[in-house]
């Protein structure tokens, strides 16, 4: 997919906040991480309870035809919108420590960064790229490739690719979503799995000599972090890049980030009035709210 | 006057320069001024000190002159230099205060006895002083006290202010209030320092102003402005607020004044165009009574905005109990359609104009909670959507306004409470309520409903440069796989009409016609397009590159729909963030939700046209009470009781659409009906028992099928035929009206209950002829389905004039005659009728009230069409059943006709459909669909009357007029913007499995699609017509795009406050006020043009075609043309609507919710 103004248009809103937070999150993380106190006991942040697939498998067949069917002309819209919808789901999931941003050039490529906040890989900041097959959602599961191969049993030491497929042996539309892949990419750093490793050395070390494994991990984390400010590997306007904290730039951005309130796209101040409601929460009766409640 | 004119030379800054900077005049040094002032004062005091107040006019003149000069000096005096920057009084003011000069002056005048001239002069003088003074004056008792003394003299306890002084008084009061607003302490002083003799009404200024609240013109405006200032100043002043609420008549005067003003509004709105459906500012600016009302309403709005909570709540109470309930509610329930239209349009206007939340709440409370004869106002209003007249359009417009409020309470009542229990969804599907259309499945489904016959896209390459980026390779594939048949554009009626339009544009602008070579090149009205290269491409910046308008926007518009959908959803979900619950199927819990009200036991639409029941006053006595159906009773009750209450006198009126209505006679009511002479009742009810229907049926017999039946004879039939904008025949468009009619007739006769056998194959056999008890029907809720069934037999029912035994016998006549047979007969009759009608056609135009011959109004036309059909039906009936009806009026036999699902004309037009589908389709058509089938237990899921009525109307799209369809699809799209999963899934999730009794939007659309395809199949030139319709709408849109306002004011913004808005065409039919898409916009503008240009589409269509000679075009041709036109436009709108829905489904999947009540903190 080549340069697509439409795509950029449609991501604009979300981009506004995402990109802010990313630019912001990086340096801040950078700065804060040495002193970061552990979250109480070291434990995985809870996985959202609704992580289980919500949808039911019933409706797999019908869509297949749409690609070739009478409405083929709308096909690109479906793909773009499916990916955009996936992205929206990611945002809604609020995955801890994970940020992604679709590429400017192709909706099938997402840039991401993951912050590991505790555990063996604590303080690790790993940039990665998600590659989504172009026959999504009917193809394989998306691939996740770290910019720098992290020392990890499930990460290919050469290509940096994470073994995602083991978790999504078959990619099932409606069941599987990209946020789950991201979630998985995060989990592997907290819960080490050495089965059928892509990096046998790491797997063996983890089994046999945890201390050495740990030190190698620390080295790997350091290596990754030392390249944090490198130019993005892929040249793309939306690629995630880090820069040292520069108060002149970042303070203001941070300020904006904290005060940011999303509004409708072409929302003019004072133009749109909020909706009306006099329904008391918990009630389904109109005008059940206390009359004395302040009216906007 | 002389005072002021004499003032002027010395005070150049007086009137005109009042607001100018206090620079020029007072260049003289303060001491000199003081000396001059003292000099004047000496001379005045000499006069004043005379014992006997002299009556000499010399004295008066002298005093006046000196006072005049003195006050000018005082007004011009600047603040003195005070210590530490706090300014002191100037020396003159100081003198005035210490010597109490003004008090002396005023007292002298009062002692002398004030004639109105010197009183007026004093008022003006004070007004000048207060308005122009360079320093604050009113805070000094020495100024305030004499002022109040003067004002007190103006307030005659009995007579009020003498008329000649009103202007001066109000102006002075206004000035006082202005300076009070600047110096809040003045209010306090005013409040305290009132002379004791004023008694309880101690805020004199206030009580002087109140009488002027509703005054016309500048004086009223000044008074309202002044009062508003008092309100604002007293907002934080509890004592004053208390005084206003407890001791003044402010609130009651304001509220009841509205009632008075409302009662003087026109009861009938002169309708200028076929598309008219809402009052725009331009509409009412010329209607003085409406302007007056709107001014006062605006004032109420402002008071609510600024006043102290005490005042506000009192005012709102009075508005509710003193205006809405006693005045607005009966007005909305008037029995004549004209009045309903007017009151609905007024209500719509009011709602659009009110901006204050609290005031809106009062209105909404009234709409949602106030019961008028058992139904809430809201329920009554929504049923009117099902009518076919302009009432439908006005009602749609009202609901568009309501929906745009994004009000939770409203949505709860309208839709959500019916969806809350989730009973409409299969149990297994409940979880799916929250799903969004992740992979475009629903969107695909919607798009797949675009009829094949409408996919005629020719895409001139290069025309879509900008689009190809998005559409990529896939884009072009459809155009290659479905090559367009470049049919030679036969000069169809549409072509004629398009051509006509291009030359016949009125003030609203000329419509460029399409660039077909056969048609004259239009000149774009505003801005000359680049004439050399493409003479006909309108000069719109957005469309410079068009090579051909053909199909330009009709395939590529999807992006814009996406954009609009995004915007609509965003705005809507932003607005909904302060709702109390997400309505996602879990919160509020389905189990906790109170069960929604069951479907009405009587069809709500019955109450829509209460005039249907007007006959009951005489007719009901004829029917044995025991045989009256409960449902009908219930439905009729409202009209009964309400009308009976009013007065004993009755006006019998024949409305514009020939509905007969009985209205309680009251003083002003009959004004606008005068054009239509009231018909006395007797002719309609010639004999006590069933003769009414006899006359009715007689009017329908072939022998009497003359277009101009005596009004009294055919009114009732007409009624069924008329209302509509929709030209379609019996089974669809006016099924409700007919249903009602049937009921009415039934109710009168009470014995036979005919239900159409044919229209419900899907249901268990209906009780065809209720026995005398009518028990079956009695128990059953009279749901729309039933109405639908009834509708088929509406006319036949007139045979009730026969002995009842006969009736039942006839009912059992095998209902289904071979369709072909029917058709043949129908066609024959058509021809015969055509001949007849042709002879009389010209005269018919009078019906439209279009005496100037400018065009045939759509209503009139529809009316004619219906007439035509009716007569044809009669013919065929009569032809088929001579033997049966031997002893009875021929028309009585019509009942047997029941199986005819649609008129012969209809079948001719859509032959294939009729011949094949009759049965199956008939149950789908008309009102039936979303309603629950007859006889189902009441626990069946019911999606609420609003959805039912919308879906029913939607299903009828093919017969609806363009205008109705534009409004209607707009409302559905508006609903589909709501982010609440319950509503979203109900409308947009095409995979959702509903309970069998609940019809889904996609089903409704599917049936529309089938009808369009059937229609297209029966019309060879459909593609050509479609293209022309598209081109026409697109071209129209472009013309007006170039100068349509960039920012359309949002709905909530008070229309009335937007000054001098240019009559923007786009506002007219605007469905998405803020997001006009090209296609839709085009349609809207087309409508606007029709209206503004004074030349209707229809007149263009039906007059002046080459074949039509001197405008004598056969009625039947017009009928057909209208039908075709509706259908073709429907096809266009339908396709656009599908795209719009698809876009909405897609955008919902990618929209991020706003965190709840994020905006509330702001």
- Predicted local distance difference test score (pLDDT) of residue B986: 95
Per CB-CB distance under 8 Å, the chain B contacts of A174 are: 438-439
Residue A113 has φ and ψ, to the nearest 5°, of -145, 145
Tokens of B901: 């699902």
CA gap B959, B830 in Å, rounded: 20
Q: Which residue has the higher pLDDT, B993 or B906?
A: B993
Per the listing, tokens 């892929």 go with A234
CA distance A103 to chain B (A): 16
Query: How does residue B1157 score in pLDDT terms, banded at 50, 70 and 90?
Result: low
Helix (H) or strand (E) holding A120: none
Distance from CA of B1129 to the nearest CA of A (A): 23
Q: What is the pLDDT, as a whole number, of residue B517?
A: 32
Provide CB contacts within 8 A for B303, sequence distance 6+: B227, B228, B231, B254, B311, B312, B315
Where is pLDDT greater, at B1059 or B729? B729
B804: tokens are 């009842």
Determine the average pLDDT of the residues in B139-161. 79
Q: What is the structure's pLDDT at B675?
A: 36
pLDDT at B237 over 80: yes
Q: What is the 3-state secondary structure (H, E, C) of B461-502?
A: CCCCHHHHHHHHHHHHHHHHHCCCCCCCCCCCHHHHHHHHHH
Sign of CA dihedral B1111, B1117, B1118, B1121: negative
Q: What is the pLDDT of residues B563-578, one digit of tens each?
A: 999 999 999 988 898 8
pLDDT for position B522: 33
B49-53, B378-382, B453-457: range with highest mean pLDDT: B378-382
Mean pLDDT along residues A83-111 = 92
What does the pLDDT read at residue B53?
Answer: 59
Predicted confidence band at B1114 (pLDDT cuts at 50, 70, 90)?
A: confident
Cβ pair A84, A10 in contact under 8 A = yes
> Once rounded to an integer, what is the mean pLDDT over residues B910-934?
36
What is the structure's pLDDT at A73? 58
* A285 neighbourhood in chain B, CB within 8 Å: 412, 594
- CA-CA-CA-CA torsion for B937, B938, B943, B949, nearest 10 degrees? 90
Of the partner residues B441, B447, B567, the one whose CB lies closest to the CB of residue A62 = B441
Query: In whole angstroms, what is the distance from residue B497 CA to residue B1117 CA?
Result: 14
Q: Which residues of B touch A279 (CB under 8 A)?
A: 408-409, 412, 579-581
Give the per-residue pLDDT at B193. 61
- B432 has a pLDDT exceeding 70: yes
Q: Are B174 and B226 a contacting pair, CB within 8 Å?
A: yes
Section B1000-1025 average pLDDT: 93
- B559 Cα to chain A: minimum distance (Å): 9
* 3-class DSSP state of A112: strand
State the pLDDT at residue B313.
93
**pLDDT for res B339:** 93
For the record, the structure tokens of B152 come out as 């007190």
Lowest-confidence pick of A49-53, A284-288, B296-300, B594-598: A49-53
* Chain B interface test: which of A105, A134, A282, A286 (most B C-beta within 10 Å): A286
Give the pLDDT score at A137: 86
**Chain A hits for B471, Cβ within 8 Å:** 73, 76
Nearest of B839, B727, B626 to residue B1098 by alpha carbon: B727
pLDDT in tens, A6-55: 333 333 333 333 333 433 333 333 333 333 333 333 333 343 433 333 33
Q: Report whether pLDDT(B463) > 70.
A: no
Q: Chain B closest CA to A291's CA: distance in Å?
A: 10
Residues on chain B touching A77 (C-beta within 8 angstroms): 440, 443, 470, 558, 562, 1146
The 3-state DSSP class for residue A276 equals: strand
Which H or E element spans position A161?
Answer: strand A161-162
Confidence band of B1039 (pLDDT split at 50, 70, 90): low
Which residue does chain A place closest to B433, by CA atoms? A55
Residue B87: pLDDT band by 50, 70, 90 thresholds?
A: low
Asked whether the beta carbons of residue B1151 and residue A55 sit closer than 8 angstroms, the reply is no
Average pLDDT over residues B792-813: 35
- What's the start-to-end Cα distance of chain B, in Å? 52
Look-up of token digits 């990754």 = A224
Residue B152 pLDDT level (bands cut at 50, 70, 90): confident
- Main-chain phi, psi angles of B777, to 5 degrees: -65, -30
Contacts of B580 in chain A (CB under 8 A): 277, 279-283, 289
Do residues B187 and B180 lie in contact, with contact meaning Cβ atoms separated by under 8 Å? yes
How much is the pLDDT for B393? 93
Three-state helix/strand/coil letters over A61-105: CHHHHHHCCCCHHHHHHHHHHHHHHHHHHHHHHCCCCEEEEECCC
**What 8-state DSSP symbol labels residue B989?**
-
CA-based nearest distance B409→chain A, Å = 5
Helix (H), strand (E), coil (C) string for B225-244: HHHHHHHHHCCCCHHHHHHH
Which of A66, A260, A284 to probe the B interface (max B CBs under 10 A)? A284
**Higher-confidence position of A238 and B1031:** A238
Asked if the model's pLDDT at residue B927 lies above 50, the reply is no
**What is the Cβ-side half-sphere exposure of residue B698, based on CA atoms within 13 angstroms?**
15
- The answer to whether the Cβ–Cβ distance between B1150 and A266 falls below 8 Å is no
Residues of B in contact with A66 (CB under 8 A): 440-441, 444
**What does the pLDDT look like over B1068-1095, one tens digit per residue?**
233 333 333 444 444 544 444 444 333 3
In a mutagenesis test of the A interface, which of B442, B1147, B1150, B1156 is the best target, namely the one with the most A β-carbons within 10 Å? Answer: B1150
Alpha-carbon gap: B1149 to the closest alpha carbon of chain A (Å): 5
Q: Report the DSSP beta bridge partners of residue B754.
A: B769
Give pLDDT tens digits for B675-724: 333 333 333 333 333 333 333 333 333 333 333 333 332 222 233 333 33
Local structure of B801: helix, strand or coil: helix
Across the interface, which of B440, B592, B1053 has its CB nearest the CB of A81? B440
Average pLDDT (B168-192) is: 85
Distance from CA of A278 to the nearest CA of B (A): 6
Nearest to A273 by CA among B1048, B348, B1050, B358: B1050
- Residue pairs between chains A and B whose CB atoms are closer than 8 Å: 207
User: Do residues B135 and B176 touch, judged by C-beta distance below 8 A?
Assistant: no
Q: How close A113 gets to chain B, by Cα (Å)?
A: 22
Q: Which residue has the higher pLDDT, B494 or B658?
A: B658
Query: Which of A67-71, A73-77, B447-451, B635-639 is most confident?
Result: B447-451
Please count the other Cβ atoms lying within 10 Å of the Cβ belonging to residue B613.
29
Residue B320 has pLDDT above 80, yes or no: yes
A287 vs B369: CB contact, 8 Å cut-off? yes
Average pLDDT over residues B146-170: 79
Q: Are B934 and B783 spatial neighbours (Cβ–Cβ below 8 Å)?
A: yes
Q: Do B1146 and A77 touch (CB under 8 A)?
A: yes
Q: Which residues of chain A make contact with B472, given a CB cutoff of 8 A?
A: 76
Question: Quick one: pLDDT at residue A151?
Answer: 95
Mutate to test the interface with A, among B409, B583, B593, B974 (most CBs of A within 10 A): B409
CB contact under 8 A, A59 and B441: yes
Q: What is the model's pLDDT at position B204?
A: 80
| Residue B736: pLDDT band with limits 50, 70, 90 | very low
Q: How confident is the model at residue B975 (pLDDT cuts 50, 70, 90)?
A: very high
Coil, strand or helix: which one is A289?
coil
CB B963 within 8 A of CB B277: yes
Q: Is the pLDDT of residue B917 over 60?
A: no
**pLDDT score of B107:** 86
Nearest chain A residue to B404, by CA: A275
Question: Is the ipTM value over 0.85, yes or no?
Answer: no
How many C-alpha atoms does B1085 have within 13 Å on its Cβ side?
Answer: 29
Reply yes or no on whether the pLDDT at A61 is more than 70.
Answer: no
Q: Which residue has the higher pLDDT, B126 or B29?
A: B126
- H, E, C per residue of B753-775: CECCCHHHCCCCCCCCECCCCCH
Q: CA–CA distance from A125 to each of A42, A113, A220, B284 (Å)?
A: 18, 7, 11, 66
- Across B539-547, average pLDDT: 33
Contact A56 B432 (CB under 8 A): yes
Question: Tens digit of pLDDT for each residue in B2-28?
Answer: 333 333 333 333 333 334 334 444 456
Name the residue among B406, B574, B1150 with its Cβ closest to that of A81.
Answer: B1150
Cβ contact A86–B434 (<8 Å): no
Distance from CA of B1023 to the nearest CA of A (A): 19
Q: Would you say residue B523 has pLDDT above 80?
A: no
Which tokens hold the place of B972? 């559905």
Residue B329 scores a pLDDT above 50: yes
Q: At what angle do helices B141-154 and B166-182 cross, to 10 degrees?
A: 150
Please compute the mean of the pLDDT values over residues B1025-1049 and round it to a whole number: 60
Phi, psi values for residue B664, rounded to 5°: -60, 135
Strand A109-115, strand B375-376: pairing: unpaired
Confidence of residue B795 (pLDDT cuts 50, 70, 90): very low
Report chain B residues whose CB lies below 8 A from the CB of A106. Answer: none
Give the mean pLDDT of chain B: 63
Residue B319 is predicted with a pLDDT of: 95
- Name the more confident of A283 and B12: A283
Confidence of residue B556 (pLDDT cuts 50, 70, 90): low
Distance CA B76, CA B78 (A): 6
Q: Which residue has tokens 């929209």?
A: B1151
Distances (CA, A) of A52 to A56, A167, B296: 11, 14, 59
């Amino acid at each position: 997919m080549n340069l697509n103004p439409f795509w950029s248009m449609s991501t604009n809103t979300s981009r506004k906040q995402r990109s802010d937070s990313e630019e912001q999150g990086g340096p801040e993380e950078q700065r804060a991480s040495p002193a970061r106190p552990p979250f109480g006991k070291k434990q995985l942040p809870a996985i959202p309870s609704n992580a289980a697939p919500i949808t039911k498998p019933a409706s797999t067949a019908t869509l297949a035809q749409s690609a070739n069917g009478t409405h083929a002309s709308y096909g690109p819209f479906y793909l773009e919108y499916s990916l955009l919808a996936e992205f929206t789901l990611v945002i809604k999931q609020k995955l801890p420590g994970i940020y992604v941003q679709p590429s400017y050039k192709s909706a099938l490529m997402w840039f991401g960064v993951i912050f590991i906040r505790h555990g063996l890989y604590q303080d690790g900041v790993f940039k990665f790229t998600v590659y989504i097959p172009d026959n999504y959602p009917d193809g394989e599961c998306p691939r996740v490739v770290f910019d720098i191969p992290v020392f990890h049993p499930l990460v290919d030491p050469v290509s940096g690719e994470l073994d995602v497929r083991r978790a999504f042996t078959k990619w099932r539309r409606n069941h599987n979503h990209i946020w789950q892949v991201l979630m998985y990419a995060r989990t592997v750093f907290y819960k080490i799995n050495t089965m059928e490793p892509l990096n046998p050395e790491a797997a063996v070390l983890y089994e046999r000599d945890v201390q050495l494994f740990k030190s190698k991990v620390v080295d790997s984390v350091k290596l990754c972090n030392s390249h944090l400010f490198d130019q993005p590997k892929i040249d793309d306007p939306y690629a995630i890049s880090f820069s040292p904290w520069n108060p002149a730039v970042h303070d203001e951005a941070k300020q904006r980030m904290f005060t940011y309130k999303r509004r409708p796209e072409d929302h003019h101040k004072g133009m749109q009035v909020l909706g009306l409601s006099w329904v008391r929460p918990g009630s389904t009766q109109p005008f059940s709210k206390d009359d004395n409640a302040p009216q906007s | 006057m002389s005072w002021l004119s004499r003032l002027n030379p010395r005070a150049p800054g007086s009137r005109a320069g009042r607001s100018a900077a206090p620079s020029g005049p007072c260049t003289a040094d303060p001491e000199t001024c003081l000396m001059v002032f003292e000099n004047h004062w000496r001379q005045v005091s000499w006069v004043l000190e005379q014992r006997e107040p002299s009556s000499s006019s010399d004295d008066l003149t002298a005093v006046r002159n000196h006072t005049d000069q003195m006050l000018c000096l005082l007004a011009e005096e600047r603040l003195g230099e005070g210590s530490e920057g706090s300014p002191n009084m100037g020396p003159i003011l100081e003198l005035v205060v210490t010597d109490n000069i003004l008090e002396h002056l005023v007292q002298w005048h009062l002692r002398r006895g004030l004639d109105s001239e010197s009183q007026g002069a004093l008022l003006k003088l004070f007004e000048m002083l207060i308005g122009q003074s360079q320093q604050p004056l009113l805070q000094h008792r020495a100024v305030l006290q004499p002022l109040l003394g003067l004002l007190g003299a103006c307030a005659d306890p009995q007579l009020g202010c003498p008329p000649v002084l009103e202007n001066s008084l109000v102006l002075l009061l206004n000035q006082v209030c202005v300076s009070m607003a600047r110096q809040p302490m003045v209010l306090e002083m005013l409040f305290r320092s009132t002379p004791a003799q004023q008694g309880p009404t101690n805020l004199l200024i206030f009580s002087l102003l109140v009488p002027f609240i509703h005054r016309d013109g500048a004086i009223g405006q000044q008074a309202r402005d002044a009062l508003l200032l008092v309100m604002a100043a007293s907002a934080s002043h509890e004592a004053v607020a208390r005084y206003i609420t407890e001791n003044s008549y402010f609130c009651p005067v304001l509220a009841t004044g509205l009632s008075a003003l409302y009662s003087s509004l026109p009861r009938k709105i002169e309708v200028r165009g076929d598309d008219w459906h809402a009052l725009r500012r331009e509409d009412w600016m010329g209607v003085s009574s409406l302007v007056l009302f709107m001014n006062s309403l605006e004032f109420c709005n402002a008071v609510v905005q600024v006043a102290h909570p005490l005042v506000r709540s009192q005012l709102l109470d009075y508005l509710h109990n003193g205006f809405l309930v006693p005045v607005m509610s009966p007005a909305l329930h008037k029995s004549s359609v004209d009045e309903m239209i007017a009151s609905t349009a007024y209500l719509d206007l009011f709602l659009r104009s009110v901006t204050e939340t609290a005031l809106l709440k009062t209105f909404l409370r009234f709409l949602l909670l106030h019961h008028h004869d058992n139904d809430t106002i809201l329920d009554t209003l929504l049923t009117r959507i099902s009518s076919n007249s302009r009432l439908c359009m006005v009602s749609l417009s009202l609901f568009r306004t309501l929906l745009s409020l994004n009000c939770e309470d409203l949505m709860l009542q309208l839709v959500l409470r019916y969806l809350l229990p989730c009973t409409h969804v299969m149990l297994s599907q409940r979880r799916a309520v929250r799903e969004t259309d992740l992979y475009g499945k629903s969107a695909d489904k919607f798009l797949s409903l675009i009829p094949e016959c409408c996919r005629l896209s020719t895409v001139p390459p290069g025309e879509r440069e900008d689009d190809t980026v998005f559409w990529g390779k896939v884009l072009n594939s459809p155009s290659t796989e479905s090559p367009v048949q470049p049919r030679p554009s036969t000069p169809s009626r549409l072509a004629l009409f398009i051509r006509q339009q291009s030359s016949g544009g009125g003030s609203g602008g000329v419509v460029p016609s399409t660039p077909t070579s056969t048609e004259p090149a239009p000149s774009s009205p505003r801005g000359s397009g680049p004439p050399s290269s493409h003479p006909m491409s309108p000069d719109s910046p957005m469309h410079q590159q068009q090579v051909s308008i053909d199909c330009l926007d009709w395939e590529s518009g999807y992006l814009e729909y996406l954009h609009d959908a995004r915007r609509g959803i965003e705005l809507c979900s932003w607005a909904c963030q302060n709702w109390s619950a997400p309505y996602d199927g879990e919160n509020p819990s389905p189990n906790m939700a109170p069960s929604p009200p069951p479907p009405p036991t009587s069809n709500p639409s019955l109450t829509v046209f209460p005039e249907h029941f007007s006959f009951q006053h005489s007719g009901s006595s004829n029917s044995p009470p025991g045989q009256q159906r409960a449902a009908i009773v219930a439905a009729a009750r409202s009209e009964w009781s309400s009308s009976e209450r009013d007065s004993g006198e009755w006006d019998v009126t024949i409305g514009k659409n020939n509905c007969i209505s009985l209205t309680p006679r009251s003083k002003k009511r009959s004004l606008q009906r005068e054009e239509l002479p009231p018909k006395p009742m007797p002719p309609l009810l010639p004999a006590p028992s069933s003769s009414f229907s006899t006359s009715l049926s007689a009017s329908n017999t072939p022998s009497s099928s003359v277009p101009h039946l005596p009004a009294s004879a055919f009114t009732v039939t007409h009624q069924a035929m008329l209302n509509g904008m929709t030209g379609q025949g019996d089974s669809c468009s006016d099924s409700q009206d007919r249903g009602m009619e049937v009921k009415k007739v039934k109710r009168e006769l009470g014995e036979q209950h005919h239900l159409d056998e044919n229209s419900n194959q899907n249901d268990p056999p209906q009780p065809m002829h209720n026995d005398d008890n009518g028990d079956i029907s009695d128990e059953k809720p009279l749901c729309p389905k039933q109405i639908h069934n009834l509708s088929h037999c509406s006319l036949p029912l007139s045979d009730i004039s026969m002995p009842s035994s006969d009736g039942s016998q006839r009912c059992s006549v095998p209902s289904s005659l071979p369709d072909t047979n029917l058709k043949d007969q129908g066609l024959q009759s058509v021809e015969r009728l055509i001949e007849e009608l042709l002879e009389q056609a010209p005269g018919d135009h009078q019906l439209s009230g279009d005496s100037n011959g400018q065009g045939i109004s759509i209503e009139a036309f529809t009316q004619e069409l219906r007439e035509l059909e009716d007569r044809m039906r009669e013919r065929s009936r009569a032809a088929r059943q001579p033997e049966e009806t031997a002893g009875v009026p021929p028309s009585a036999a019509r009942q047997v006709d029941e199986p005819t699902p649609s008129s012969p004309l209809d079948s001719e037009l859509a032959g294939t459909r009729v011949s094949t589908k009759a049965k199956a389709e008939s149950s789908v058509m008309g009102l039936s669909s979303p309603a629950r089938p007859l006889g189902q237990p009441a626990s069946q899921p019911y999606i609420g009357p609003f959805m039912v009525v919308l879906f029913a109307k939607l299903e009828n799209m093919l017969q609806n007029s363009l205008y109705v369809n534009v409004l209607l699809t707009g409302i559905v799209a508006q609903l589909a913007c709501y982010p609440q999963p319950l509503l979203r899934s109900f409308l947009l999730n095409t995979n959702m499995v509903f309970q069998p009794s609940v019809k889904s939007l996609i089903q409704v659309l599917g049936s529309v699609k089938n009808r369009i395809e059937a229609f297209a199949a029966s019309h060879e030139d459909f593609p050509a017509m479609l293209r022309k319709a598209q081109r026409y709408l697109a071209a129209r849109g472009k013309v007006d795009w170039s100068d349509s306002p960039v920012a359309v004011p949002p709905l909530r913004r008070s229309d009335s406050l937007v000054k001098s808005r240019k009559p923007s065409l786009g506002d007219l039919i605007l469905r998405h006020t803020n997001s006009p898409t090209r296609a839709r916009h085009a349609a809207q503008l087309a409508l606007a043009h029709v209206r503004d240009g004074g030349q209707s589409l229809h007149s263009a269509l039906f007059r002046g075609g080459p074949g039509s000679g001197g405008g004598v075009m056969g009625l039947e041709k017009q009928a057909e043309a209208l039908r075709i036109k509706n259908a073709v436009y429907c096809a266009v709108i339908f396709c656009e609507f599908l795209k719009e829905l698809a876009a909405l489904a897609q955008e919902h999947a990618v929209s991020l919710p706003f965190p709840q009540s994020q905006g509330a903190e702001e």
